[in-house]
Amino acid sequence: MRKLFMDRFCLALLFLGIFSSQVWAQDTLRMDFSEAVEIALGANLDYQIQSNQMEVLKKEKQSAFASHFPAVNLGTTFARQSGQQFQQIEGEIVVTNVTNEIISSGLNVDMPVFNSGRRIFDTQSAKLAFEAGEMGLERAAQQVVFDVARLYLQVLLDQELLRIAQENLNNQQQLLEQITGFVDAGLRTLSDQYNQQSEVARVESTVVDAEIQYENDLWDLGEYLQLEPGVIPGLTQVSPEIDALIFEGMPVDELYEIALENRADIQQQDMLMNSTRKDLKAIKAMYYPRLSAFYNYTTFFTSLDDRSIQEQLLTIYPQNNLGLNLQIPIFNNFRTRVDVSRAKVALMNQELQKKSLDRSIYQDVRLANQNYQAAIRKEKNTRVQVLAAEEAQLAVAERFRLGLSNFVDLSTANQQLVRAKGDLAQAIYTLYFQEVIMRHALGTLNPMGLK
């Protein structure tokens, strides 16, 4: 029996050695939480797409502002005519077969004078759309921070649970040596030794499970950060202990008001609604007359004229036109009416999205608050649980040493203590992460949210 146990024990140690060598054979990239967030922001697809879209919104904003200034165009045409040319000479039409080389140039300046406020509405709409894009980008960054925090804290929790399991394995191995000494001295039965050997084997399996869970969650974080193949993150520890529970006992309505003031997505939706309203007003302006001023400068050169190019272009043929252009819409196949209908539907859809987002934010805050308050109570209870389990284990261990207690009582006390320590670690990290969830729901989460 002892030989069979030793064989299994050696196999378990061999497996642990191979597993550990595989873990540490990887390239480790050391990082703290803020560095992990920075890497994630550079790798996250949704965030990068929204960041790229900001360039388009920026150009649209600049274009809308520039529409208040005149539009200037310069054009030049080079042409060659071959064949019969008609010329009027001394009252007669003379037809000649010649080649005529022509250069024509022109400068056009167009300036809207009045268009029922369309330029103003377009400028305001583009500005609001750009600001809405900034809010959307900020919320996308908060989502990345939230995702990294979830994965980062899970890895740290796995490390703590692995440490507890390894500490328990070390304690059980020491207890096995103690019981073996008692058996050799005739103070304990051989069955106690076999039972402890079985307990050590069980704890070794627990350590293996904890290492596998840690490895899996570590790779999940590395995959989210889009690290190079073979590179795993080496995380800097954070202190999950919360000094001040600032959200403890706060009513949901108060938290909801904080969320409405800080959530970037609700601010984004408000700006999108206002932008759509401006678009609707700009389109309605097409129903009304439009007045614009223009200035045209034209000149040309022809090879049929013997005078020089400079003289023809600058002295002989230049023309200047300056005037006003009034357009009164009468009938344009209902295109403006269709555009107005589309804009109205877009505005109604934005309003529906605003109502849906309001409800979603309230539910997020309410659920986050419930879980946060529950995590506070659970953390307090598990601390009491650990203190009681430690006292019980010490008492049972002493009675077992004196021969007043059996192995079953000792094993049960040890298991309860290990379970209590694991529950406390879970409760501490859960409470810490629930605060992260609360800040995410309130819109106050930032890359420095972890200590």
Task: Give the separation between CA 209 and CA 16, rounded to whole angstroms.
Answer: 11
Domains and their CATH numbers in the chain: 2-69+115-288+331-442 (1.20.1600.10), 71-110+290-328 (2.20.200)
Question: CA-CA distance, 430 to 378, in Å (whole number)?
Answer: 9
- For 115-239, list the strands marked E by DSSP: 231-235
Give the tens place of pLDDT for each residue, 68-91.
999 999 999 999 888 766 665 556
CA distance 52 to 145: 19
Residue 300's SS3 state is strand
Pairing of strands 71-89, 231-235: unpaired
User: Would you state the structure tokens that stand for residue 89, as one six-digit string?
Assistant: 């000479």
* Angle of helix 335-401 versus helix 252-262 axis, rounded to 10: 130
**Structural contact between residues 123 and 65, judged by C-beta atoms closer than 8 angstroms:** yes
Q: In what order do the strands lie in the sheet with 319-327?
A: 71-89, 92-114, 290-302, 319-327
pLDDT at 448: 61
Q: Residue 170 has which token pair?
A: 């070390």
Classified as helix, coil or strand, 405 is coil
Q: Is residue 321 pLDDT above 90, yes or no? A: yes
- Of 147, 162, 155, 163, nearest in space to 237 by CA: 155
Q: Average pLDDT in the 428-451 region?
A: 85
Share of the chain above pLDDT 70, in %: 90
Q: How many CB atoms lie within 10 A of CB 40?
A: 22
Share of the chain above pLDDT 90, in %: 64
pLDDT per residue over 215-236, tens digit each?
A: 999 999 999 999 998 889 999 9
